[in-house]
Structure 1
Amino acid sequence: MTYIFNSDDALQAVLVHIDHRDKMGNESFKKFKSYIEKRGYKRVSNQEPFVGDQYAEYVTPTGDHIEINAPHMSFDLNIDYQTAAFMKTFNTRQQQQKIEKRNTEAAQF
């Protein structure tokens, strides 16, 4: 489990990695998904093929995101909770890094 805080020590994200090999088997994705859906969060994306990666994304009333990801042929299950403020900061930094990379590459050309 990884906790991410901002500079004011406010919790911004929780990243959970579960190895469900021995405990829950193939039902773990559905189990955690049902826990989230019982909270009434709005589902914005869902992918549950019979064979393949399973993924679901939810948004809370405050705009926070919850993602569940169970890669195919893996015993991993990832559940990520990210506040809207964290997502905004993260996306802004990613864009800045892309611009800096392009500028660096252009300067070397």
Structure 2
Amino acid sequence: MGKTRRWLCVALAMVPMMAQAGPGPFGLSVGETTMEEARTELSGKTSLQSKGTNKWSNGPMLSSAGAGLGLDGLQEALFIFDQENTLTSVVLSLHKNRYEDMRKMLGNQYPLIDEQAPFVGNKIATFREEGVTIEAKSPHMSFTMTLSYLSEDFSRQYQLAKEREQQEKAQRESSQL
């Protein structure tokens, strides 16, 4: 086998390893990674705990205190799965001083679709890639920021549930009058 042909075989064999995964932190792809794959990927890096069932996705949740995941200031990582055990959302809690770093890193990877960055007040940067919304939120009166990776399905289920909760609350209040 000639050198060129051998090089081509090696290059083609590496294509699956080089393929870019969908959006998500720690080598996980929101909307693609299964719970078993997430456990396998993360178990050598951090300790995972079961957090029950998510009320919006009706799927299991896993959490980590963040140690071993290689992200400075990470206080907690919550991995939310759907009923089919596919990763549907990841919510990272970090110290608020990481907001500008996170916003810059995300801006280098994903298209920015919206940003609110007042001098004083809540800061929010929203990015979107391959059906996943990535939000960096830094509330003004908090020491913690969140970095969320949300699939379209999870976002839709969350919005529907919140609207339903608001309607139920309005009906309860109305019945009191």
Residue 136 of structure 2 is matched in structure 1 by 68
**Given the alignment of the two structures, is residue 36 of structure 1 paired with residue 101 of structure 2, yes or no?**
no
State the one-letter code of the partner of 1:61: E
**Given the alignment of the two structures, is residue 97 of structure 1 paired with residue 173 of structure 2, yes or no?**
no
Aligned residues: 101
TM-score, normalised by the number of residues in structure 1? 0.75
**Given the alignment of the two structures, is residue 47 of structure 1 paired with residue 120 of structure 2, yes or no?**
no
Spell out, residue by residue over 1:18-66, the C-alpha distance to the aligned partner (whole angstroms, 9 max, x if none): 125xxxxx4x222111221221x2212212334443221111132x211
Structure with max Cα Rg = 2
Spell out, residue by residue over 1:58-81, the C-alpha distance to the aligned partner (whole angstroms, 9 max, x if none): 11132x211112233643221111
Identical-pair percentage: 25
State the one-letter code of the partner of 2:128: V
| Partner-residue secondary structure (3-state), 1:37 | helix
Residue 23 of structure 1 is matched in structure 2 by none
Provide closer, same or farther for how the CA distance between residues 12 and 107 of structure 1 changes in structure 2, counting only shifts above 3 A: same
Residue 5 of structure 1 is matched in structure 2 by 81
| Partner-residue secondary structure (3-state), 1:57 | strand
Residue 125 of structure 2 is matched in structure 1 by 56
Provide closer, same or farther for how the CA distance between residues 8 and 53 of structure 1 changes in structure 2, counting only shifts above 3 A: same
State the one-letter code of the partner of 1:58: F
What is the aligned-residue RMSD (CA, Å)?
Answer: 2.1
For structure 2, the residue ranges without an aligned partner over 5 or more in a row are 1-76
Residue 81 of structure 1 is matched in structure 2 by 149
Where is the strand percentage greater, Structure 1 or Structure 2? 1
Higher RCO (C-alpha under 8 Å, 6+ residues apart) = 1
For structure 1, the residue ranges without an aligned partner over 5 or more in a row are 21-25
Provide closer, same or farther for how the CA distance between residues 48 and 95 of structure 1 changes in structure 2, counting only shifts above 3 A: closer
TM-score, normalised by the number of residues in structure 2? 0.50
Deviates more, 1:52-61 or 1:78-87: 52-61
